């Protein structure tokens, strides 16, 4: 169920982002705002083993530096649930519980 909701959100946001970038950008404007969302899978290292897949949301602002180059920043958030079964497989006698991992990033 959670996977189906994620796919639906990705499809809706992808269509919204495409519509925004194609139709809402007036000619000659030197900046743009974008919003994105999707589903992420941890794929490397200890984080990949201990956490489940989760959603990602982001927004960015870019400004033209010259006709062929944009510069700006992006703020994003990713949420991943704890994979308690993985930790129990490492130490079956321990009671494993915990919250979710929220990852907040700012990129320039």
Q: Give the up-direction half-sphere exposure of residue 94: CA atoms within 13 A in the CB hemisphere.
A: 11
- Nearest-angstrom CA–CA distance, 14 and 103: 22
pTM of the model: 0.57
Domain ranges of the chain: 2-107
pLDDT of residue 28: 62
- Could you report the per-residue pLDDT of 18-61, keeping only the tens digit for each? 444 444 445 566 788 899 999 988 888 777 888 888 889 999 99
């Amino acid at each position: 169920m959670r996977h189906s909701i994620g796919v639906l959100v990705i499809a809706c946001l992808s269509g919204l982002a495409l519509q925004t970038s194609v139709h809402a950008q007036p000619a000659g404007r030197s900046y743009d705002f974008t919003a994105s969302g999707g589903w992420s899978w941890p794929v490397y290292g200890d984080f990949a083993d201990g956490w489940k897949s989760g959603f990602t949301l982001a927004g960015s602002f870019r400004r033209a530096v010259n006709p062929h180059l944009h510069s700006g920043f992006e703020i994003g958030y990713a949420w991943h649930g704890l994979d308690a079964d993985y930790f129990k497989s490492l130490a079956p006698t321990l009671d494993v519980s915990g919250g979710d991992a929220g990852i907040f990033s700012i990129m320039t």
